[in-house]
Chains A and B, each alone.
Chain A
Amino acid sequence: MSKEEKRQITEIPIGPYHPLQEEPEFFRLKVEGEKVVGLDIEIGYNHRGIEKLAESKHYDQVLFLVERICGICSTSHPFAYVNCVEEICGLDIPLRAKYIRSIVGEMERIHSHMLWLGLAGHFLGYNTVWMWCWKYREPLLELCEKLFGNRQHYAMMKIGGVRRDIDNAGGSAFCREMNLLLPKLDMLQKAIEDDPVLRARLKIAGTLPKKEAVSFCAVGPMARASGIDIDVRRDEPYAAYSMVDWTVPVRTEGDVYAKTMIRLEEMRQSVLIIKQCAEALKKAKGDISVQIKEVPPGEGIGRHEAPRGEVFHYIKSRGGTVPYRHKIRAPSYMNVFTNEYAVVGGTIPDAAITLAAVDPCYCCTERMQAVDGAGRQVYTSKQLIDICREKTFSMKRGKNK
């Protein structure tokens, strides 16, 4: 690269502490004019040493620890964790617990996708979408609080089953809430499909082809939007997922629009799963958990399809009360990395929505150091939001001419 070419490249850091993304991580965009030519990713702002902490905590305490890996998908890590420990113990949990676990997992998926949808609307300048989506989340969170004990961090999972039961009235409350949710999902989908500017903005941004998604080992909606048909709930069924009817949505375009549509469809499938589980619960008799005396020596793998993709837990036990080694891999660990491909070649306004389309759960993952460059241009947070929105508004203006 010649000296002149070097001078023209400007670096724009987004974050940390950027209001577009509520979690701290650092993307350093290298820009030539309006085009993104390179991306450095730095994380590490969220590293809390959880794997090491787990080695000094009793198996029951580790449950509360892993729950706090991530607030939005706070059930996903306990879910994968209990699957892992129960594998080591060779334990099969009662039927009621299976249905309840699936209900909890799917409630989380709905509220997480709804949250993301709202944030995406916010980034693109559709604040009404943001307010609607977060408003629709509220009755779900209230229901969780009533039946699980908390709006988030429900602590419903327990090694051997679940901690709280859901009675018939609770099951009916879920069904009622799901029936109320369906027309809202239809409305949101229509709002996105019918707005040509929004469609256009989502379609040109952040395309990740299948070959790249495979190479980066992407998971979850990121992978399914690029044509990779994987879903832990179907590939290696656990809880009640093999006992109810549902499908895995897959698309091939790999752009942000595909990711959005997949998340909407997943919410619909979650509604189906919850309703069937709530119905089945009325007939399922028995306990909600089994006692375990101790975790024998051995190793186990536990997974759960979190809203963002496969959550992976591996534990090596040498007997005793604490895990010898606890490996945790969150889905964003694989997915955030795909930005190296998806963002480069696009423009600055599209970069913001592409980075957000990964639905990054940085509190699940951790990483890297960026290098300070010379000739750095920094946009303030307000300027970056304005750029992102201005593109939407100018596209609207162009359309109205």
Chain B
Amino acid sequence: MELIELLEKNLGKKIKSLDRPREKRIYIEISPEDLRFAAEFLFNSMKCRFSTASGMDEEEHFEILYHFSLDSKGIFINLRVKTERKKPEVDTISDIIKGARWIEREMHELLGVNFKGNEELGNLLLSRDYRGPKHPLRKK
């Protein structure tokens, strides 16, 4: 339980809910405003590796899961951020973690989430001639 205590001590009230369905999987829900603080703590202080982020359309809202890996213990600490569907927007973490730049671009393109502060959002995967559905990862 040491890890949980460490997380609770440092993230404190920022943790809206903490779920540990398995020993090696921790899901922490935080508000979008606290994302940068939490990401910075996990990446710089706890030396977790940022693996990737999963953006999804949950119909009533959008949800982004940031997957951080604590390699020394084989544990994943996932930050869950929910944002409203009408104007999905979250702060960028690409200045804290260089490796997050592309996944933010991808989520912006395929899901339509805006990452405030990321100057490089633009077409990543789809070409200018693409004629398919806009933001294809959205549910109809």
Listed in ascending order, the chain A residues whose CB lies under 8 Å from chain B are: 43-44, 47, 49, 51-52, 87, 214-218, 230, 235-237, 298-301, 310, 312, 314, 316, 324-325, 327, 329, 333-334, 337, 366-369
Contact = CB atoms under 8 A, between A and B. Distances in A.
B30 to A, nearest CB: 17
B9 interface: no
B137 A51 contact: yes
Contacts, number: 92
B24 interface: yes
B99 A314 contact: no
B124 A366 contact: yes
B102 interface: yes
> Lowest 8 A-B CB distances belong to which pairs?
A217-B99, A236-B74, A327-B54, A329-B52, A325-B56, A47-B125, A235-B74, A215-B98
A230 B71 contact: yes
Nearest to A314: B54
A215 B97 CA distance: 6
Given A218-B99, A237-B74, 14 more contacts: A43-B124, A44-B125, A44-B126, A87-B25, A217-B50, A235-B72, A235-B74, A301-B25, A301-B78, A310-B51, A314-B54, A325-B54, A369-B122, A369-B124
Contacts of B18: none
A236 B76 CA distance: 10
Interface residues of B, number: 39
B137 to A, nearest CB: 6
Interface in B36-86: 49-52, 54, 56, 65, 67, 71-76, 78
A337 B137 CA distance: 23
Nearest to B70: A235
B77 to A, nearest CB: 11
Nearest to A215: B98
Nearest to A365: B102
A327 to B, nearest CB: 4
Nearest to A324: B56
A316 B21 CA distance: 14
Contact of B102 (A299, A300, A337): A337
Contact of B21 (A43, A44, A298, A369): A298
